[in-house]
């Protein structure tokens, strides 16, 4: 940690903060340094005193910037002789939660969400077929059959059905080997899905969507991208139809 601390001190030089918005400017400069890779996870920022000199501000302004950066989960402040402000490793759950919150606040329409999810699922499926392991593909098929079992009871437990559907989507995204797809998928599933819950609430659509999931999992396991693409399109055709019917009620 001493080497990392020394490197940060020697290479990171911040500009004087703008008057009137000093705290916000400090935050932006530190965020930029993190995004540009000039500061890496585990590195310790210069001391409060050193930052005061670099930014040309008082201690209270620097501490306010630290407080906001902690809330954003970008730094961790430790006490003691070897303490200080350390850069944190970005957490997948936090990234996904932030994206989910952003999407909710933007009032995205169901059709916009469906359009995005359909195009993303098509890309994910192609990569999952090419990169997914045999075990992952077998797990995908197994989850699809678990979904069928969960909806075949007289009164399906909606929470369990939703959990299995969520696991199917996240597993499929993870099979791409690209963490960005998984992060986005987790965000979409964190209370902001493509309204798939509507399909499971309707008996008619529930039966068709589960059959479609089973077929999709089988074709992915069999390495059939064209058939998989057709099944994904059918999934979202059903979803659009389901939402349209609910809006007419």
Question: What are the φ and ψ backbone dihedral angles of 56, each rounded to 5 degrees?
Answer: 70, 40
119-161 pLDDT per residue, tens: 999 999 999 999 999 999 999 999 999 999 999 988 889 889 9
229-232, long-range: CB < 8 A, 24+ apart: 229/122, 229/125, 229/126, 232/118, 232/121, 232/122, 232/125
Domain boundaries, the chain: 2-87, 93-248
Say what the pTM is: 0.67
pLDDT band at 188 (very low <50, low <70, confident <90, very high): confident
* Overall CATH class of domain 2-87: mainly alpha
* Overall CATH class of domain 93-248: mainly alpha
Calculate the average pLDDT of the chain.
87
């Amino acid at each position: 940690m001493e080497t990392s601390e020394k490197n940060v001190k020697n290479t990171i030089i911040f500009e004087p903060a703008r008057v009137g918005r000093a705290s916000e400017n400090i935050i932006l400069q530190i965020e930029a340094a993190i995004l540009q890779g000039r500061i890496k996870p585990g590195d310790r920022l210069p001391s409060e005193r050193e930052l005061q000199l670099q930014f040309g501000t008082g201690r209270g302004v620097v501490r306010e910037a630290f407080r906001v950066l902690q809330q954003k989960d970008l730094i961790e402040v430790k006490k003691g002789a070897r303490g200080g402000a350390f850069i944190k490793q970005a957490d997948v759950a936090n990234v996904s939660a932030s994206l989910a919150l952003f999407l909710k606040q933007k009032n995205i329409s169901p059709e916009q969400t469906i359009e995005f999810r359909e195009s993303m699922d098509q890309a994910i499926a192609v990569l999952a077929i090419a990169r997914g392991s045999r075990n992952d593909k077998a797990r995908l098929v197994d989850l699809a059959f678990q979904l069928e079992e969960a909806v075949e009871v007289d009164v399906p437990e909606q929470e369990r059905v939703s959990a299995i559907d969520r696991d199917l989507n996240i597993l499929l995204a993870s099979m791409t080997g690209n963490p960005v797809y998984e992060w986005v998928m987790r965000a979409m599933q964190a209370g902001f899905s493509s309204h798939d819950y509507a399909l499971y609430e309707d008996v008619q659509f529930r039966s068709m969507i589960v059959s479609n999931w089973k077929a999709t999992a089988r074709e992915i396991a069999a390495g059939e991208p064209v058939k998989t693409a057709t099944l994904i399109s059918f999934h979202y055709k059903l979803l659009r139809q389901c939402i349209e019917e609910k809006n007419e009620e």
